[in-house]
Structure 1
Amino acid sequence: MNPMSLLRLFLLAALWGGSFLFMRVSVPVLGAIPTAFCRVALGALGLYGLIAFWRTGFSFKGKFTATLFLGVINSGIPFLLFAFAAKVLPAGYSAIINATTPLMGVLIGALAFGEQFTMSKAVGVVTGFAGVAILTRTGPTTVNGPMLWGIASCLGATACYGLAGFLTKRWITLRGGLGSSNVALGSQIGAMLMLSPFMVWDEATHPLTWHDVHANVWISMLALGLLCTSFGYVLYFRLIADVGPMKALTVTFLIPFFGTLWGWLLLNEVATLAHAFGGGLIAIALWLILQQGSSQVQKINSNKQIERV
């Protein structure tokens, strides 16, 4: 990666690592469904404002429907699953399990998209999952039923992320490309449409007294929607344009560090030596996967088929 792509990678990791902190603040008060819905609604609003400010235009070039479906897989389902996980898992745990996204990407790419599964990638997958297992089993949270459901929700979300990287290439990039901000906006609209029926049902069955919500919850939601989602997804789709879907997915290897850091600093979550050891294994897995880019990913990177913002 060139220096600017690396800078975007670390900035995105810091933002998305913070998203788990903001969910831990918001979900206990608002609930999982309202948190996920407000996140994508604010994300769509923020992206609309960014596009209007940058004057890049709202042209989807016949790919608006594709971006809607992409949003269901890349935002709607995983945001909802991570919000459910935030009920029972510390922010650092969810951020750590989120690191399985590139591993899921490698497996999904090999099984469904003809990506080459090299020895380096295989060792990276095993090493990465070993790091996640160490961090999960030796951390301060007791392994029980709710925790296992939370972990399963996180793994379901990362599988969606891994799939979405390749669908972005197939539905958007290989069809002539689309500005990254428009891809992000369309995806958030799609996620909002998908979550709307759940939001109506949740409000009907568990009405929330919105005016009693504390200011720190609203601040967390604004940060989650505008920074982590609006600005974050612009960075993410720009990374896909610059370095391809597999290398863009490796941002999630850096998220555990930031998620654990923010949780430790701001929520008094415990950080142990297991975090350092498991994080070291994840870093090794990151290096192994970065060494091997598939020929298809390299082609996307060289042709620059997604337009610059």
Structure 2
Amino acid sequence: MEKATAARFFGQAAIWGASFTFIKFALQDFSPNQLVLFRLILGAVTLAAIILFTGRSFKLSGTAWFHVAVSSIFANVVPYLLLSFGEQHTSAGLAGVLIGGTPLVTLFISTLALRAEPATPRKVTGFFLGFLGVALVVSPWKVEGSSLLGALACFGAAASYAVGYAYVSRFLSPLKLDPITLGANQLISAAVLLGLALPFFAWPAIETVSVIPLLSLLYLGVLASGFANILYFRLIQDVGAATASAVDYVVPVFAVLFGAVLLLEPLSWNVILGGAVILIGMAIAEGRIGSSSLSPASSGKANKS
């Protein structure tokens, strides 16, 4: 992974990791479906503004538009709704950690559906080690039964994200389209699809909106949905679905850290140890360490998978 790609990788992880804390704040004044719809609209407006100011085009072919619409369901609408619901019943840190299941699910889907992204011994070893690190961070023995429903919703979001990664890699990445154009169209599509589904959701009246929930909503829309979507498409184009999804191994570390600082959620030894294990697993998956014993490929080729 090149330095610029690594910077985008960790930047996306930090933005998404912080989003779990800001979802908690935003839910103080907004219902889950309100939060998701406003978040999608803000993200779409942000990327649309970038397109207009930089002279890019919104135009996509009919086939590309279809795939963008499908990917928006798995990458935006479903996981955003599940996370917003799940965080009503569990902590921000736990929600972020459960997203750590995304890379393993993505690896499984990619192996079955994407011939260009085989599950090499090195990648499998690194991903399983990364998931072990996630388990250390989450400390499942500390999770109370009352949060099981929220935890399942968050893991459902992880599975939906995994399908989204594989779908984008299979149908959109080969088109080599501008990530900003793709991101804008995907968020617009997601907002429209959710808007069409609104009659099936409760829409409670918004009585008051205080500063912190409003600023949290702006963060989730502009950064976590807008700019992060650009990084999302660029990473999948650069390194493929499975490796790009490994960003969700680092997201839990940022989620727990932001939860500890901003929400005063407990931070213990297992977070530091789990974070270290996650980074080691990523290094193995990327061929930074142990590539000679885990893969028949030479070290010069290890970073290309």
TM > 0.5: yes
Distance in 2 between the 1:283 and 1:100 partners?
15
Identity percentage of aligned residues: 29
> 1:129-148 alignment to 2 at 5 Å?
129-137=131-139, 142-145=143-146, 147-148=147-148
Contact kept? 1:240, 1:248, Cα under 8 Å: yes
The count of residues paired between Structure 1 and Structure 2 equals 291
Distance in 1 between the 2:237 and 2:134 partners?
28
Contact kept? 2:110, 2:241, Cα under 8 Å: no
Give the TM-score normalised by structure 1: 0.86
Distance in 2 between the 1:136 and 1:258 partners?
12
Please tell me whether residue 169 in structure 1 is matched to residue 163 in structure 2.
no
Q: 1:10 to 1:142 in 2, by over 3 A?
A: closer
Cα deviation, residue 244, structure 1? 2.4
Distance in 2 between the 1:206 and 1:52 partners?
32
Contact kept? 2:260, 2:267, Cα under 8 Å: yes
- Structure 1 residues 170-211: Cα deviation after superposition (integer angstroms, max 9, x where no partner): 22123x321111111121122212322443444xx452234x
Greater mean alpha carbon deviation, residues 237-246 or residues 98-107:
237-246
- Structure 1 residues 249-284: Cα deviation after superposition (integer angstroms, max 9, x where no partner): 222222122111211111111111121222233223
**Partner in structure 1 of residue 107 of structure 2:** 106
* 3-state SS in 2 of match to 1:46: helix
Contact kept? 1:34, 1:199, Cα under 8 Å: no
**Partner in structure 1 of residue 121 of structure 2:** 119
* Structure 2, gaps ≥5 residues long: 298-302
Q: 2:246 aligns with which of 235, 243, 250?
A: 250
Cα deviation, residue 67, structure 1? 0.7
Please tell me whether residue 192 in structure 1 is matched to residue 191 in structure 2.
yes
Distance in 2 between the 1:148 and 1:243 partners?
34
**Partner in structure 2 of residue 229 of structure 1:** 225
Distance in 1 between the 2:109 and 2:241 partners?
12
Give the TM-score normalised by structure 2: 0.87
Q: 1:21 to 1:231 in 2, by over 3 A?
A: same
**Partner in structure 2 of residue 151 of structure 1:** 151
Cα deviation, residue 142, structure 1? 3.9
**Partner in structure 2 of residue 208 of structure 1:** 205
Q: 1:281 to 1:184 in 2, by over 3 A?
A: same
The letter for the 1-side match of 2:30 is: L
- Structure 1 residues 60-87: Cα deviation after superposition (integer angstroms, max 9, x where no partner): 1331121111111111111111111111
Q: 1:219 aligns with which of 212, 215, 218?
A: 215
Contact kept? 1:30, 1:208, Cα under 8 Å: no
Distance in 1 between the 2:88 and 2:28 partners?
6
- Structure 1 residues 33-88: Cα deviation after superposition (integer angstroms, max 9, x where no partner): 11111111111111111111111111213311211111111111111111111112
Provide the aligned C-alpha RMSD in A.
Answer: 2.4
* 3-state SS in 2 of match to 1:209: coil
**Partner in structure 1 of residue 65 of structure 2:** 64
Structure 1 segments (4+ residues) deviating >6 Å: none
* 3-state SS in 1 of match to 2:50: helix
Greater mean alpha carbon deviation, residues 74-83 or residues 100-109:
100-109
* Structure 1, gaps ≥5 residues long: 296-300, 303-309
Cα deviation, residue 230, structure 1? 0.6
Distance in 1 between the 2:17 and 2:276 partners?
17
The letter for the 2-side match of 1:209 is: I
